[in-house]
Structure 1
Amino acid sequence: MVAPTIQPSLPRVSPWALSSFWFGSAFHWLLLLLILMPADIERLVGSAHKGTYLGLLSGLGAVVALVLPPLVGSYSDRVGKRITFIRWGVAANVAGLLVMGFGLRAGFNVYLLGFLLVQFGNNFATAPYSALIPEYVAPAQRGRYSGVMGLLQLSGQLLGGVVGALVGTAVVPRELAFVLVAVVLGLSALVTILRVPEPPRQELPADTAPRLGWLQLFAQNAFFWVFVTRALFSLGQYSVQPFLQYYLHDVIGRFRLFGLNLGNAVTASSVMLLAIIVGGVASTLLAGQLSDRLGRKPVIFFAGSVMAAAAILLLFGPPFGGVLLLALVFGLGFGAFTSVDWALGSDAMPSRRSFGRDMGIWHVAFVAPQLAQTPQGRLLDWGNALQPNLGYTLVFGIAAAFFLLGVVLVQRVKNLK
């Protein structure tokens, strides 16, 4: 007897409802990783070891993100549930945020415990959630849906940047920022939970492609090279992103814009992130729809080339206005990549019988590169100790190399435009 699996003909769901959870998750990670955690870690361990400890914390969280999604995704395939996992994962995520927000005075270990709970909850929800796009959306519409998801992701990051600029002020005290992250994440997840039904469990046709073993999955050309390409883009992103606040403080130093002094690197990093996101929003929907017509690869070529060029030019330490211009250019590439990311991953799925597991494994290509923050943080501190700002030259140069390598290797994806 064939085990019950998920029925191929499913009701149409709104791309906005489907992508709502990604809005809250994007707001959550931007504010947490780029604004709140760098400042908290420096407060806990001091300036001399900030890069090492921030990299360590992020690396430990990435271990959870590496192991959990494929396991949870595989189990969600077996029981035929997706939304239930999102519900419980978000609850754990919110609990972890509150531990981080109100446990800073208890020391680094409590802060770490809260962050690991955040990682556990978010990844518990993400693997089953990732399966919803290939499950519900026909291949010819995946670029459009992926574009909407990219737009909401960048909009969530935009809101995170605005809130981040106010963190530490009387408007948004630090503890309130953690509460806001929990509220936005919870409400956006609620839209997806209420508006996207659980896929009904029924038998798949006998001629449906079989579920592949892990080795067989990576032997499949499209999946392997899409996985590698996504990992390289993520390596580039995570080689630079966590250290932007430190880069602005140590390399740029002065933060004047149109005659206004922004005061400190925390505020300046929020403004820089806003510039990246504005550029991303400008390219996201257009690139997603173009990818349905022209193919995914041309969009990836554009995205990687632009992001690499911007990372290299930042090494020259331009005035803060120039930094913002480069951030805007980087955002154009980042938005273009974001717009096709989910569509490219969905196109590479080999079997309907294992969407949850396979998208969970694909998600590892996004989160596993967070492990690079640990050696990159040590490289940053080591290089800067040898020579002022040498660490930033090494880290940003490596990021550019990752982006360019992703552009080259995406050409190896067969049977996908």
Structure 2
Amino acid sequence: MNLKSRSLAWQLGMSAYWFATSMKWFVMLLTLAFVVNDIVPGGEEGKLWGRVVLIGATWAMVGPGLFGYLSDRTRTRFGRWRPYLAIGCAGTVFALIVLSNAREYWVVVVGYLLLQMSDDFATGPYSMLIPGLVPEHQRGRASGVMALMQFSAHLAGAAVSLALGDIRPIYLTVATMSVVCALITLFTVREDPAERISDRVGFAEGWIQPWKDHDFRWAWIVRFLNALGFYLILTYLGLYFAHVVRDFTAFGIPIAKVGEGVTPEGAAKEAVLKVAVIIAVLAAIGGVAGGRLADKIGRKRVVAGCGWLMFAVLVPFALIPDFSVIVCLALLFGFGYGAYESSNWALVSDVMPSRENLAKDMGIWQSSIPAPQVIAGSLGFVVDTKNMQGTSGYTIVFLVAAAAYLFSTLSVRQIRGST
């Protein structure tokens, strides 16, 4: 199948909803932990916040593949994936309204699960656009544009969180952006008529099929291990800043201060957001550079190089709770992570086993992202238990994250079907 070249404007419009969903999850994972911290008894915040992440991630291991499977078999006058994106966006808005008014733990759990289900409903089918509509020689660049949108969304999320401060207006702003970005993508990308899939394969058998493909298995493992490292850091970063780092002065410059009405948790939240801004700026640059480089020298070289960089950064991060050191490491990690994201998406787009089932297969591959969140969430009790005798719980979890990046990088060479 010959795919036509895509303009930069088309690529930006296509990736608009990635901006929305990235902004949403960035804000959620950096702010909702503090909501849980305010609601639950002291000493249980790590375990109970981990449980929230665990519940959402458990569903997300199935959701994208399920909705991708349904999308591949959907034929409406609105298209295959477009109805899913529109309905998923509406569900996202509803879930954010629920979370913006959460005052009890069970409301947080329900709202977060609704948010995860709505996101999977939209992004499971949506994830097939690059492998399905972009020619191979442009996939690195298109993935770079997608990474640019994703990490620009992190900047926007941090800016909104810092400017508004209160959870309710923050989440309502994220809901508004979801609607705007969904409309941009829906109006930019038109669907060509597609033939109805002739096979009668059920969902269970369809779920098994891609795992028989060598490259699909290794692409999933590489992404799973990388995401495990990332979410082990992100899930507990806010609590680590609040309980261990505490002093947020970098090279003599106060980044966030306790006092004058600012609690230690409030200062930690501000510091996390500012570090996230640093990472996002470098990641946006790295995403564009990595995507272009992946088209020139090959996806695997870029993915592996970025993996080594992130591993090297995380070892001192786990051992040295000094904010000046953390800021320096954030610069390196951000660039590496951005370049990794764009080149890895291009790599995966090259090795999908079936063009007829792209949405389903991309959705199943996407389970490599929430699956690590199940592990990250379940380690909340380790953090709480070890922290009873100091702060070694965070050190252990962050060293496990570094090891995950190492094994992810070593696994890249197993993929054969991409350069």
* TM-score computed with the length of structure 2 as normaliser: 0.91
Shift of 1:261: 5.1
**SS state at 2:15 partner:** helix
Counterpart of 2:208 in structure 1 is 215
The number of equivalent residue pairs is 398
Aligned to 2:404: 402
Residue pair 1:150, 1:338 contacting (<8 A) in 2 also: yes
The alpha-carbon deviation at position 303 of structure 1 amounts to 1.3
Contact 1:308 1:403 (8 Å CA) reproduced = yes
Q: Aligned match of 1:132 in 121, 129, 133?
A: 129
For residue 8 of structure 1, report the CA deviation from its aligned partner.
6.0
1:176-195 alignment, distance < 5 Å: 176-195=169-188
Give 1:337 deviation, angstroms.
Answer: 0.9
Aligned letter for 1:333?
A: G
User: Alpha carbons of 1:234 and 1:390: their partners in 2 closer, same or farther (altered >3 Å)?
Assistant: same
1:199 aligns with 2:192: yes
CA RMSD, aligned part only?
Answer: 2.0
Which residue does 2:273 correspond to in 1?
270
Alignment partners' CA distance in 2, 1:261 and 1:325: 14
TM-superposition CA deviations, 1:65-124 (whole Å, max 9, x none): 11111111111111140111100001001100000101x22x111221111111111110
Q: Which moved more, 1:274-283 or 1:52-61?
A: 274-283
1:328 deviates by 1.0
**Counterparts of 2:242 and 2:236 in 1: how far apart (Å)?**
10
Q: 1:155 is matched by which residue type in structure 2?
A: S
The answer for the alignment partner of 1:259 in structure 2 is 253
CA distance in 2, matches of 1:261, 1:133: 39
Q: Pick one of 124, 147, 151 that aligns with 1:154.
A: 151
Whether contact under 8 Å (1:8, 1:204) holds in the other structure is: no
Moved more, 335-344 or 91-100: 335-344
Q: Residues 361 and 329 (structure 1 numbering): CA distance in 2 closer, same or farther, change over 3 Å? A: same
* CA distance, structure 1, for counterparts of residue 89 and residue 4 of structure 2: 25
Distance in 2, Cα, partners of 1:370 & 1:128: 21
The alpha-carbon deviation at position 415 of structure 1 amounts to 2.5
Counterpart pick for 2:42 among 23, 44, 47: 47
Structure 1: gaps (5+ residues) = 1-6, 206-211
**Superposed CA offset, 1:269-318 (max 9, x none):** 00111111122122111111110111111111121111112211112334
Q: For residue 87 of structure 2, what is the aligned residue in structure 1? A: 88
Say which SS state the counterpart of residue 390 (structure 2) adopts. coil
Do the aligned partners of 1:238 and 1:372 also contact (CA within 8 Å) in 2?
no
Report percent identity of matched pairs.
Answer: 34
Report deviation, 1:204: 9.0
* Unaligned runs of at least 5 residues, structure 2: 199-204, 258-266
Shift of 1:216: 3.6
Letter in 2 for 1:128: P
Tell me the CA shift for residue 18 of structure 1: 0.8
Partner AA of 1:113 in structure 2: V
1:88, 1:261 → 2: CA distance? 40
* Contact kept? 1:165, 1:266, Cα under 8 Å: no
Structure 2 contact 350–417 (Cα < 8 Å) conserved: no
Q: Aligned partners of 1:68, 1:260: CA distance in 2, in Å?
A: 43
Q: Any idea what the Cα deviations from partners look like across 1:14-51, whole Å, max 9, x if unmatched? A: 110111100111111101111x2011000111331111
Q: Distance in 2 between matches of 1:161 and 1:306?
A: 24
Measured in 2, the distance between the counterparts of 1:360 and 1:110 equals 28
* Residue 201 of structure 1, CA deviation: 1.6
Return the TM-score normalized by structure 1.
0.91
Q: Residue 55 of structure 1 contacts residue 373 of structure 1 at CA under 8 Å; is this kept in 2? A: yes
Shift, 1:262, TM fit: 1.1
- The answer to whether the 8 Å contact 1:8/1:135 transfers is no
